[in-house]
Amino acid sequence: MALNDVLAIYKALSDETRLKILKLLENGELCVCDLVAAFNTVQPKISFHLSILKETGLIKDRKEGKWSYYSLNDNNLFKRFLLLSTFEQIDDTEIELEKQRLAKFIEEKKTKKMVELCKCLK
């Protein structure tokens, strides 16, 4: 890996929102709207940070219908080490708020799905 690649990875890691996104992805893939809800912010902001993380290969994406799902991409030993040791450093309480909002949003999505299902059954 060249100096520029290492540099790009550290730049990607040196932003609060991006570190938190990575930590949220620790528990599995999330779509853009999940993250928008978790951070209680606007969608282009999240897309911007996701694109930077994706460019450096720290995360990967997968399209399904209207949705883009993002997940950790630790196929490289250096990146895997970085992610693991970073997660180890950061206490879970530091993303408590985001986790709460995320959980609430996912719960709401489930409820909405249920409601739709009920409509169909009528």
111 is a contact residue toward DNA (CB under 7 A): no
**CA nearest 94: which of 3, 10, 13, 17?**
17
Q: Which does 51 bind (CB under 5 to 8 A by kind): a copy of itself, DNA, none?
A: DNA
Q: What mask, x for binding a copy of itself by CB under 8 A, covers residues 10 to 39?
A: xx-xxxx--xx-------------------
Site for DNA in 2-41 (CB under 7 A): 11, 14-15, 17, 31-33, 36, 41
Residues of the shown chain interacting with a copy of itself in the complex, contacts defined by CB under 8 A: 1-3, 5-7, 10-11, 13-16, 19-20, 78, 81-82, 85-86, 88-91, 94
